[in-house]
Amino acid sequence: NPHAKLISIMSLLLGTTITISSNHWMMAWTGLEINTLAILPLISKPHHPRAIEAAVKYFLVQAAASALVLFSSMSNAWVTGQWDITQLSHPMSCLLLTVAIAMKLGLVPFHFWYPEVLQGSSLTTALLLSTVMKFPPITILFLTSHSLNPTLLTSLAIASTAL
């Protein structure tokens, strides 16, 4: 159905725009969730068992990562009293956010789900997963980079590049 596909694409763009333009943790999390829910019909569209399996794997990993983002932001707000993305200062919140973003991006050691989801997806959906779906987590990573552990980020980057 072309209308359903159009709604999914528009929701994908809306979620990406909300996350990229957000300064509040709840809005960024909402945009990430909209993105996750918008891409699921596109992954499972072929109605093949492999596509359904890929959609379920994607949903479970993204839901776990989103829960970590939400927990990280809530624990930071508990300590600092602020929901601003740029005010991330609590060390445990920084570590949890780094793990959550690594899961969302499919970085090593949280990458095992990513090739299987790509194999179960169509070429167009795999292209969307590999490009557009990476913009919101990378934006959050960029906005909080001053607070995150540079050694851990460098280690994740080198390990992902080496693999």
Q: Structurally, how many domains does the chain consist of?
A: 1
Contact (CB, 8 A) for 83 and 141: no
Q: What is the mean pLDDT of residues 149-161?
A: 94
Q: What is the mean pLDDT of residues 85-103?
A: 93
pLDDT higher than threshold 90 for residue 46: no
Q: What is the mean pLDDT of residues 57-79?
A: 95
Q: What is the mean pLDDT of residues 40-62?
A: 93
d(CA 142, CA 137): 9
Token pair in block for residue 103: 């899961």
Q: What is the mean pLDDT of residues 14-40?
A: 94
Q: Name the residue range of residue 96's domain.
A: 2-162
Q: What is the mean pLDDT of residues 100-129?
A: 93
pLDDT tier, 70 (very low <50, low <70, confident <90, very high otherwise): very high
What pTM does this model have?
0.91
